[in-house]
Structure 1
Amino acid sequence: MFVVLLTYTAPIEEIDLALPDHAEWLGKQYDHGHFLASGRQNPRTGGVIITRPMARGKLDAILATDPFATQHLAQYQVIEFSPTKTAPELRLVNEAVAH
C-alpha cells in the first residue's frame, strides 16, 4: 500500500488549467480499483493519494500517466507502508495486504 504526496512545481493557475484532466485521470484510477482516497493538501501546495496494494513498478507506471506528471506540474513522493491495524471500514484492504 502506498501514500503518494504530490507537490506542485508550477503556479496554481497552471495547476487549475490541468485540474479537469487530472480529475478525469483520478476517476479512471478509481474505476480500475487502484486508489482508495485522494485530495488536496491544506494549504494548497499539492495533493495526497492513498493506493490499494500493488507492485511499486505498477504504481510508478500509473503515476507517469497523470496529466500533472506529463505536463511537469508536480513532483511525487511515494511512501510504501504495510498497515498492521485499520478501522473496520478498511478491514478488506488490510486483509488484502496480509495475503
Structure 2
Amino acid sequence: MFILALTYVKPNEEADKHMEPHMAWVKEGYAKGWFLASGRKVPRTGGVILAIGSRAEIETCVAADPFIVHGIARYEITEVAVTTVAAGLDILKN
C-alpha cells in the first residue's frame, strides 16, 4: 500500500484554479482500482491518498496529476508493507 501525501507549494487560490482537473485525475485513479481513499489535510495544506498497485504505476500516476504538472504541489510517496488489518480490509495487505 502507498500513502501519497501532497503538500501545496502555492497558495490555495492557485490550487483552486486546478481543482477540477485534479479531481478528474483522482476519479481516474479510483476507476483504475489504485485509489482506496482520499481527502484534504486539515488545515488545508494539501491532501492524502491511500493507494495500491506497483510503485512504478503509482509514480507514473502521480507524475500526471495536474497539481504536479502545474507546480501546485509536491508529493511524498510512502510505501507501507501492511501485515495486519481490520476485518474487511484485506485489500490493503501486500
- The reply to whether TM is greater than 0.5 is yes
Structure 2: give runs of 5+ residues left out of the alignment. Answer: none
Alignment size in residue pairs:
94
**SS class of match (1:88):** coil
Deviates more, 1:82-91 or 1:42-51: 82-91
* Residue in structure 1 matched with residue 73 of structure 2 by the alignment: 74
Structure 1: give runs of 5+ residues left out of the alignment. Answer: none
CA displacement at 1:55 relative to structure 2: 2.0
* Residue in structure 2 matched with residue 45 of structure 1 by the alignment: 45
Bigger share in helix = 1
RMSD of aligned Cα (Å)? 1.0
- TM-score, normalised to structure 2, is 0.94
- Identical counterparts, % of pairs: 39
* Residue in structure 1 matched with residue 84 of structure 2 by the alignment: 85
The 1:11/1:92 distance shift into structure 2, 3 A limit, reads closer
* Residue in structure 2 matched with residue 34 of structure 1 by the alignment: 34
- TM-score, normalised to structure 1, is 0.90
